[in-house]
Amino acid sequence: EPEVTQTPSHQVTQMGQEVILRCVPISNHLYFYWYRQILGQKVEFLVSFYNNEISEKSEIFDDQFSVERPDGSNFTLKIRSTKLEDSAMYFCASSDRSGGTGELFFGEGSRLTVL
């Protein structure tokens, strides 16, 4: 069964360091997302991406965050200068349809710990 894969599964970093989280969406999907979930809290939308550009982003997705699809398979989330409050589980998701008509398929997540 096709799946979304994410690396690394866990990353520990020092405050102020740059972090890149990587995702390989399902191959025929066109819509890509990053969500985050702080421990014990709800899943929060960060950004959606379609046709090589950001289609929507939330207030959380400030100038410290960026996304890229550097090749035909990877979808990355970069945090330029990490803060303690960036510690969370980051989920990548993909969908084959827009506007909420399609199922979101999530990766297993990348746990980021900022010290």
Partner 1 sequence: RKEVEQDPGPFNVPEGATVAFNCTYSNSASQSFFWYRQDCRKEPKLLMSVYSSGNEDGRFTAQLNRASQYISLLIRDSKLSDSATYLCVVNRGTGNQFYFGTGTSLTVIP
Considering the complex, state which of residue 81 and residue 113 has its C-beta at the smaller distance from partner 1: 113
Measured distance CA(59)–CA(114) in Å, rounded: 20
Decide if residue 45 touches partner 1 (CB under 8 A): yes
Question: Of the candidates 111, 91, 105, 107, which has an alpha carbon nearest to the alpha carbon of residue 5?
Answer: 107
Position 87 contacts partner 1 (CB under 8 A): no
Query: Largest Cα–Cα distance in the chain?
Result: 39
What order do you get walking across the sheet with 19-24 strand by strand? 5-7, 19-24, 75-79, 65-68
Q: Is residue 85 close enough to count as binding partner 1 by CB under 8 A?
A: no
Residue 15 within binding range of partner 1, rule CB under 8 A: no
Binding site for partner 1 (CB under 8 A): 31, 33, 35, 41-45, 48, 50, 55-56, 58, 89, 91, 95, 98-101, 103-104, 106-109
